[in-house]
Amino acid sequence: MNHPVPAETGPVLRATDVDVVREGTRLLTAISVQVHPGQHWALLGANGAGKSTLLSLLGAHTHPTRGSVEVLGHRLGAVDMRALRSLVGHINPRHPLQSPLTVRQVVLTGLTNTTELVPRWQPSADDSARADRLISLLGITDRAYARWNTLSQGERGRALIARALMPQPRLLLLDEPATGLDLAAREQLLTSLEDLRTGHPRLATVLVTHHLEELPAGTTHAMLLREGHCLAAGEVDEVITSDHISKCFNHPVHITRDHGRWHARAR
């Protein structure tokens, strides 16, 4: 196995005719997608549509049953998966932290790709300064030394984005980042994502959700999944339409967009 170095050109993600079968159940069928630098994709679909399964492939956590997946120019199956995962920013809002670390400590664990602090590891002065910049960018400087167990869900979400950005990834994966957030916390998170995309124009993101209201205004592309099949994929205004969303969720809805954000209501 080769130790991966991220490719500097071409798509950051490429899946080609991917099937995933687990214990005799087909979870994904003939999925193809390319994500390029600066693109911001949404994976949309009902519960069980295959969104998290596809995200696990794109994040180099699992292999496809058939077809090929390339992450940062490296094909799964021909590269050290654990090393490749360290080059991808992956945000799981159910971060399994057991210790009462501070926000700043949690952000620094992004460099060691661990949940807990590594014994005897010390960040450099540059690392510490980067952590402080990211904490500021995500709007939680006043909580930098607050313990994890005292944070709101919204504060945790923004801390985890800062953590994922510590190794300066070219790709950020967000698995339902607004889970459990109230209205104010969700809006703060989406504002932080917009600031992030403005400040890192080459960063690519893939965000999984089943709520249109959780999509940032800067979303550029979308894929709609239903029962493991792709119903539509491409530029967001061509994909997020009333007809496509109605088919995706098997319910007639009317889609509107206001100030860059989407809203759905029953027809």
Residues 8 and 140 in one domain: no
Same domain, yes or no: 156 and 204: no
Q: What is the pLDDT of residue 6?
A: 56
Query: Over the stretch 149-173, which tens digit does the pLDDT of each residue have?
Result: 999 888 998 899 999 999 888 899 9
208 within 8 A of 230, measured Cβ to Cβ: no
Both 83 and 114 in a single domain? no
Mark whether 114 and 192 lie in a shared domain: no
Is residue 194 domain-shared with residue 115, that is, in the same domain?
Answer: no
Q: Is the dihedral of CA 214, 217, 218, 220 positive or negative?
A: positive
Query: Which residues are registered as beta bridge partners of 265?
Result: 254
SS3 sequence, 193-243? HHHHHHHCCCCEEEEEECCHHHCCCCCCEEEEEECCEEEEEEEHHHHCCHH
Looking at the 3D structure of the chain, how many domains does it have?
A: 2
Which of 168, 186, 218 is the endpoint of a domain?
168
Cβ count near 104 (within 10 Å): 20
Q: What is the pLDDT of residue 160?
A: 92
User: What pLDDT, on a 0 to 100 scale, did the predictor assign at position 133?
Assistant: 92
Pair 249, 127 in one domain = no
3-state SS, one letter per residue, for 190-207: HHHHHHHHHHCCCCEEEE
Tell me what pLDDT residue 178 has: 85
Q: Are residues 13 and 32 in the same domain?
A: yes
pLDDT for the residue 3: 54
Do 33 and 68 belong together in one domain?
yes
Looking at residue 1, its pLDDT comes to 46
In this structure, the answer to whether residues 162 and 237 fall within a common structural domain is no
185, amino acid identity: A
Query: Do both 214 and 109 map to the same domain?
Result: no
Q: Do residues 184 and 262 share a domain?
A: yes
C-alpha 55/C-alpha 44 separation (Å) is 11
pLDDT of res. 154: 87
Show the low-confidence residues of the chain (pLDDT under 50): 1-2
Query: Looking at the structure, do residues 147 and 219 belong to the same domain, yes or no?
Result: no
Query: Which of 151, 168, 185 represents a domain boundary (last residue)?
Result: 168
Q: What is the CATH number of the domain that holds 195?
A: 3.40.50.300
To 10 degrees, what angle do helices 153-165 and 125-137 make?
A: 140
- Specify whether the CB–CB gap between 25 and 202 falls below 8 A: no
Q: Which domain holds residue 4?
A: 1-88+170-267
Per-residue pLDDT of 5-19, as tens digits, reads 555 668 999 999 999
